[in-house]
Chain A
Amino acid sequence: MRQATPLTYFALLLTLVLSVFPLWWMFVIATRTTTAASQFPPALLPGPNFGANIVRLFENPSANFTTGLLNSLIASTTVAVSVVFFCSLAGFALAKLNFKGRTVATVAVVVTMAVPVQIGLVPLLILMEWFGWRGELQSVIVPFMVSGFGVFMMRQYVTQTIPDELIEAARIDGCSTFRIYWSIVLPALRPAMVVLGLLTFMQTWNEFIWALAVLSPSNPTVQFSIQQLNESAYARDFALMFTGATFATLPLLIIFVVLGRQLVGRIMEGAIKA
């Protein structure tokens, strides 16, 4: 393998600074007053106003930030749990159970991963109107309770980790199929479930387009809520907007710290398979 030169480190450090700067600057402005956003050279250290900005954020009448935060927590958690459960169930069936149509079903799952679902936005909106779900929290939960990516990932993991003999033995002992899933498959799947769950949480937390389309400003998700701050005033209140943006990013940063290494591994693994 080639050796690193000083130029290598320079390039990598530059990448690091460029990756971190927007995030760090967002936090710095969130701790200062709005004028700091147009200051040059830019403010680089946190100021004393974070507390005051947080209070203003939660009291802001157009953002409904508390509702947004709660909605995002509920939606992201529910979707993550549901995706993990249904996808591991289906992944187990596709990996280990014999049934007619198994190959077709597996191919179908892979195909669903390539479908750009967003393009069905208009009919999905009409569907929500029929159900009476428009503006309601379930509209950002129920359509996302399963994912083709999740099923495929779980199928791969079950194939790799659980030997057929284990399942045969459980059957001979008289376990029902669901019992096998619950007592043998689920415990073995735990590491993959954590990764899938956190990834799904992240995606749902981050979702913007659909929330904007189907929810209303009075009952938003957190991403929709900070967009309200962006649009509401003529004189834009950067400190307020950036405080909101910081809160909207915070859980993701926590997941990044917990999951960063595995995430790097997953992206690189996927690349080799592709």
Chain B
Amino acid sequence: MWSRLDVRASPYAFIAPFFLLFGVFGLFPLLYTVWVSLHDWSLIGGNEGWAGLDNYARLVTDPVFWNALYNTLGIFVLAVVPQLLLALLLADTLNRRIRFANLFRMTLILPYITSIAALAIVFSTLFGGEQFGLINQLLAAMGLEPIAWHGDRYAAWTAIAVMIDWRWTGYNALIYLAAMQSIPKDVYEAADLDGASRMRQFWQITIPLLRPTIVFTVIISTIGQMQLFTEPAIFDNSAGYGGGTQGQFQTVMMLVFEEVFTYQNYGYAAAVSWVLFLLVVLLGLLNTWLTSRIRGAE
């Protein structure tokens, strides 16, 4: 009797903690975001009544939201494109007979395991103002003009993209390396016999065969980068989440923080979050759709 109950009930008891905790702290907040976004909701007053789609209507016409979205997408493209190209080249470099292979592989993930906040502090110092920052001093030593890394929109994007790439290039290179090692050697041997150059082999064999892996890394990067927060928030030396004096590097996630903590406007912050969530899903689907189209065209 007891043992029969044990066999029937134990599996559910074993998986219950996961689903219970995920339900309360993962799924519920995500769904509840929709509910909050349909209300006027503040820190002190709590729920202050139904607002319908007001928050969304505001969002559509809010230049601050569009600015944040522009920054988020801009930094995303500026970071991800060179990052994945560099990662491919690095993986190709590592995919040969080398000494100290393990050391070099470990080097690749060193940035990935360090503290994001700590390194964002270090990098925003490296990209410091006119005379102090190491990078501007290096530019000066080469006879170039200093760059207003914090003041200028595209300079700030670049600095933030460098931080992101420092962290993630090696990680992606390892993923590519693994995929490259699973490509059969005779494919390359055949290409050698046909007299195809190394360059040609890289673009015509390696890259096409790696396509599923590349799509995987693009999707992972999209999910991560759409929620970009820590690097730009720390890069902004002033308190608050404005993203520079003109909001030149305020991301969508920073806007959510600004609405919550500076204006205590939970309803609007929830609307922005929910739109961001839909955007992540949309971009994920777009990626998948594009890949299947490219495949279909072949």
Interface residues of A (CB under 8 A from B): 1-4, 8-9, 11-12, 15-16, 18-20, 22-23, 25-26, 37-38, 40, 42, 86-87, 89-90, 92-94, 97-99, 102, 105, 108-109, 112, 114-127, 142-146, 148, 151, 174, 176-178, 181, 202, 205-206, 208-209, 212-213, 223-224, 226-227, 230-231, 236, 238, 241-242, 244-246, 248-249, 252-253, 255-256, 260-261, 263-264, 267-272, 274
Asked whether, in the complex, the Cβ of A26 is within 8 Å of the Cβ of B28, the reply is: no
The bracket for how many chain B residues form the interface is 35 or more
Asked whether, in the complex, the Cβ of A86 is within 8 Å of the Cβ of B227, the reply is: no
Of the candidates B29, B90, B117, B238, the one whose C-beta lies within 8 Å of that of A124 is B29
Contacts of A90 in B (CB 8 A): 14-15, 17-18
Residue B191 lies at the interface, judged by CB distance under 8 Å to chain A: no
Asked whether, in the complex, the Cβ of B122 is within 8 Å of the Cβ of A206, the reply is: no
- Report the Cα distance A12→B137, complex, angstroms: 26
Most buried by A among B28, B178, B185: B178
Asked whether, in the complex, the Cβ of B117 is within 8 Å of the Cβ of A181, the reply is: no
Closest residue on chain A to residue B256 by CB atoms? A121
Distance of B287 from chain A, by nearest CB (Å):
13
Contacts of B14 in A (CB 8 A): 89-90, 92-93, 97, 177, 181
Contacts of A93 in B (CB 8 A): 10-11, 14-15
Residue B3 lies at the interface, judged by CB distance under 8 Å to chain A: yes
Residue B260 lies at the interface, judged by CB distance under 8 Å to chain A: yes
- Report the Cα distance A143→B28, complex, angstroms: 12
Residue B116 lies at the interface, judged by CB distance under 8 Å to chain A: yes
Asked whether, in the complex, the Cβ of B115 is within 8 Å of the Cβ of A245, the reply is: yes
Interface residues of B (CB under 8 A from A): 3, 6-8, 10-12, 14-15, 17-19, 21-22, 24-30, 32-33, 35-36, 41, 90, 93-99, 102, 104-111, 113-119, 121-123, 125-126, 128, 131-134, 137-138, 141, 166, 170-171, 174-179, 182, 185, 212-213, 216, 223, 226-227, 229-230, 233-234, 237-239, 253, 256-257, 260-261, 266, 269-270, 273-274, 276-277, 280
Contacts of B6 in A (CB 8 A): 176-177
- Report the Cα distance A18→B128, complex, angstroms: 18
Contacts of A115 in B (CB 8 A): 26-27, 30
Distance of A170 from chain B, by nearest CB (Å):
12
Asked whether, in the complex, the Cβ of A2 is within 8 Å of the Cβ of B96, the reply is: yes
Asked whether, in the complex, the Cβ of A40 is within 8 Å of the Cβ of B166, the reply is: no
Residue pairs across A and B with CB atoms within 8 Å: the count is: 292
- Report the Cα distance A99→B16, complex, angstroms: 13
Distance of B52 from chain A, by nearest CB (Å):
18
Contacts of A272 in B (CB 8 A): 178-179, 182
- Given known pairs A8-B93, A248-B115, A268-B178, the reply for A123 and B28 (CB within 8 Å) is yes
Contacts of A176 in B (CB 8 A): 3, 6, 10
- Report the Cα distance A263→B178, complex, angstroms: 13
Asked whether, in the complex, the Cβ of A18 is within 8 Å of the Cβ of B110, the reply is: no
Of the candidates B22, B125, B233, the one whose C-beta lies within 8 Å of that of A146 is B22
- Report the Cα distance A181→B14, complex, angstroms: 10
- Report the Cα distance A202→B26, complex, angstroms: 20
Asked whether, in the complex, the Cβ of B102 is within 8 Å of the Cβ of A226, the reply is: no
Asked whether, in the complex, the Cβ of A256 is within 8 Å of the Cβ of B11, the reply is: no
Closest residue on chain A to residue B2 by CB atoms? A176
Contacts of A226 in B (CB 8 A): 117-118, 121
Distance of B37 from chain A, by nearest CB (Å):
8
Contacts of B273 in A (CB 8 A): 119-122
Asked whether, in the complex, the Cβ of A99 is within 8 Å of the Cβ of B178, the reply is: no
Q: Shortest 9 CB-CB distances between A and B: which pairs?
A: A120-B29, A245-B118, A268-B178, A177-B10, A143-B25, A93-B14, A99-B11, A271-B175, A123-B32
Closest residue on chain A to residue B188 by CB atoms? A2
Of the candidates A15, A108, A230, the one whose C-beta lies within 8 Å of that of B237 is A230
Contacts of B107 in A (CB 8 A): 12, 15-16, 19-20
Asked whether, in the complex, the Cβ of A252 is within 8 Å of the Cβ of B175, the reply is: no
Asked whether, in the complex, the Cβ of B256 is within 8 Å of the Cβ of A252, the reply is: no
Contacts of B179 in A (CB 8 A): 271-272
- Report the Cα distance A236→B132, complex, angstroms: 12
Asked whether, in the complex, the Cβ of A116 is within 8 Å of the Cβ of B230, the reply is: no
Distance of B174 from chain A, by nearest CB (Å):
5
Asked whether, in the complex, the Cβ of B118 is within 8 Å of the Cβ of A246, the reply is: yes
Distance of A117 from chain B, by nearest CB (Å):
5
Asked whether, in the complex, the Cβ of B132 is within 8 Å of the Cβ of A19, the reply is: no
Contacts of A151 in B (CB 8 A): 18
Of the candidates B22, B41, B106, B213, the one whose C-beta lies within 8 Å of that of A148 is B22
Distance of B270 from chain A, by nearest CB (Å):
5
- Given known pairs A116-B277, A119-B273, A241-B121, the reply for A86 and B18 (CB within 8 Å) is yes
